[in-house]
Amino acid sequence: MPKEIKMFACIYCSKKLLKTEKGMLAHENVCYKNPENYYPCWGCEHKTIIEISHTYCGEEATSEVHYCSERRIQIHNKVCEKRGLDESGRFLKSALVQKCELFEIKNSF
């Protein structure tokens, strides 16, 4: 006999999850298609990838991070920003902006 279940869909990416409404709201909060989560940095000419050294679980480690060569800040994703941590688990020192006067479109050719 068929069983009726509730499904919730993201209003931005149409992702359907068999989760609670609260779970879907949490997804929408960090969804990469949510316009509030868009940062021009990800498509900018000044974005580079650098390698940094840090301590992880008491041992020396290196990580590749996204970096803005003009503003000289690390670029991180929305999930990290909302948690207040960067990709390597350290607290963020700077926040990204939704509009940047230094933005230049990356040449994809």
In three-state secondary structure terms, 61 is: strand
Between 13 and 86, the higher pLDDT residue: 13
Helical (H) or strand (E) element with 83 = helix 78-83
**Residue with tokens 């960067």, as numbered in its chain:** 86
Q: What is the percentage of the chain residues whose pLDDT exceeds 70?
A: 72
pLDDT tens for each residue of 24-48:
888 888 887 888 877 777 778 888 8
In whole angstroms, give the CA distance from residue 65 to residue 53: 10
pLDDT tens for each residue of 64-79:
878 888 888 777 766 6
Count of domains observed in the chain: 2
* Same domain, residue pair 58 and 95: yes
* Same domain, residue pair 63 and 26: no
Structural domain including 63 reads 38-102
pTM of model > 0.85: no
Backbone angles phi, psi at 96, to 5 degrees: -80, 165
Question: Are the C-beta atoms of residues 54 and 30 closer than 8 Å to each other?
Answer: no
* Same domain, residue pair 44 and 65: yes
Q: What is the mean pLDDT of the chain?
A: 76
In three-state secondary structure terms, 51 is: strand
